[in-house]
Structure 1
Amino acid sequence: MTNDSEESGAERRKYRRANVHVELRLLAPEQHVMLLSHTIDLSRRGAFIRSNKPLPIGSRVMLSIDRGAQRDPLQLEATVVRVGYLQEGRYPGIALNFTDITEREEAKLEELIDDSA
């Protein structure tokens, strides 16, 4: 039997995660950071985004995720849960957990994931 700290990220995940590359804007007011980036992967509850600028774990950020020309960007709040590499030596970035997400926002995220499949 393993405890949570021994489980890998994939074992802890409850939601489907997909390789979805969409543009986004991240604002971290406490760190005075604004960056333009894109997702490396995306789920209904979080994302890994490409970034060479690490943010402290626990930082609260605002995201504006592009959903295409005909749709308004999806505005979400998130917390930094990990900083590092998605795969060793590749894709430096930030792992985010979406906070206070509504069912409607979850549905929009699922739509983005489905559109990229």
Structure 2
Amino acid sequence: MTKRITPKELPKILTDEIIEILVGMALESPKKTFHWAEISDVLEERGELQKILDIVSQKRKEQQEQTHQQWWDSLSEEEKELERKKTQDTYNNSDGFYGNMSNPEYPELDYDPRKNIKNKKK
């Protein structure tokens, strides 16, 4: 069971153990208690919230990498080769999209620098 801290139990000086508990509370999804919101306000006032959030971000990244690695390790050699080929095909045969989904009304670029050719406007 994950340890939790209430705002009243939060010490003035954060030890490594307290930081680990706070990181665990921040990673918890969905939040089991409402203490995190109150604690995060206190930490923000002290200027210590960013330190906790940086650790949370690093832990999430590690979890994602571990999940991806487990998925990759579960593939057979043929499946791995197929995934590599799909990735390479996607890279080589991109459609020239530059990520402008927030403003789709803007016209497409009429030059693709990767292919050094003019694109037809649709």
**Interval containing the TM-score (normalised by the shorter chain):** under 0.3
**Structure index of larger Rg:** 2
Q: Which has the larger strand fraction?
A: 1
Q: Which has the higher contact order (CA 8 A, sep 6+)?
A: 1
TM-score w.r.t. the length of structure 2 is: 0.24
